Structure formats: C-alpha cells, structure tokens
Amino acid sequence: MARILVVNGPNLNLLGEREEEIYGKVTLAEINRALTRQGEAAGVDVEFYQSNHEGDLIDQIHAARGRFDAIIINPGALTHYSYALYDALRAVNIPVIEVHLSNIYAREDWRKKSVTAPAAVGQIAGFGPLGYSLALTAACQIISQKEGSLR
Ligand code: DQA
C-alpha cells in the first residue's frame, strides 16, 4: 500500500485556538482524522508528524526516504526562510505538496515568498483545512501516475 507522510511545522499544533479569524476553529487532530478516513477510502496509508523544531522536521523528512511515496507539508513560518528545509525536501527525492491554510499571497509581504515551494510539485494555499484534503487527492494522483498502484 502506498504511504503518504503529512508534516506540519511550527505553531500548527495550536490550530483551533490560534488566530481563529485566520486559521479557523478546526484542530490539527480533526484535520488528521479526516485525512486518515480519506486515505482509507483511497487505499493509501497516511501518517502524521508535527514539530515546532526545524531540525526535527528535517530529521523526519530524511527518515521518509524509502518509506513514503509522497510528502504533504505545511512548514508554517519556516516556509518563508528555511533554506535547510528546502534542501531537505530536495534531498529526499519524494514528491512534495506544500499546503497553507491561509492565502499567503494576501497577507503580510514577508509571507508572500515561499522558499520551500520550489522543492514541491505544487502548492495549495487559502482553502483552510480543505487544502490538506486537496493535497491528499493530488498526492494519490501523483503516486498512481508513477506506479499505477492505486485503485
Ligand atoms: C501558514 C502560513 C504561514 O505564513 C504561517 O507562519 C503559519 C501557517 C498557513 O497554513 O497558512 O504558521 O503556513
């Protein structure tokens, strides 16, 4: 069975209570439960990792080598300045989809630049929790195109 790793970076553990007017009321646990169900229906295994620490995120991405077929990542604020995360995503040779709950292009100027997105196949931003689900759909499509292994 194909495996997809969903990675969330700094402060995303506080979803549901953090700046609700921007990020909404849905918690990360609720998003992850919905992704698990979606994965079951699509015949893929979905696993989750969240950390507030750049190095831990990089270690997890390294550990995904040979174990995961796609990575969905919301790098949080690291999106805007972490060349180390960019390098890690490039290094592992696994298709990456970048997700943002908010439309980063409609906010502060410093959020408009993603240094990590060039390591991704594509980016989904501005659709709230739906973005993760769209990313999972895209990941399944990428995997099945590569391997013809999904139903
Ligand atoms: C975010 C956008 C980032 O700019 C911010 O630092 C986050 C969340 C989003 O999902 O909209 O932590 O990645």
Domain containing residue 53: CATH number? 3.40.50.9100
Distance from residue 82's CA to the centre of ligand 1 (Å): 13
End-to-end Cα distance, the chain: 10
151, pLDDT greater than 50: no
Residues 78/100, Cβ–Cβ less than 8 Å = no
- Ligand 1 atom nearest the C-alpha of 12 is 12
Q: Please work out whether the CB of residue 76 comes within 6 Å of at least one atom of ligand 1.
A: yes
Q: Which domain holds residue 102?
A: 2-147
pTM: 0.96
Residue 22's CB: how many other CB atoms inside 10 A? Answer: 11
How far is ligand 1, taken at its centre, from the CA of residue 43, in Å? 29
**Tokens coding 92:** 């592992």
- Of the pLDDT bands very low, low, confident and very high (cuts 50, 70, 90), residue 150 is low
Of 137, 135, 133, which is closest to residue 42 (Cα–Cα)?
A: 137
Give the whole-angstrom CA distance, residue 107 versus residue 117. 17
Q: How does pLDDT run across 98-124, given as a tens digit for each residue?
A: 999 999 999 999 999 999 999 999 999
- The number of distinct structural domains making up the chain is 1
Over the stretch 20-34, which tens digit does the pLDDT of each residue have?
Answer: 999 999 999 999 999
Q: Give yes or no: 81 in active site.
A: no
CA of 11, closest atom in ligand 1: 12
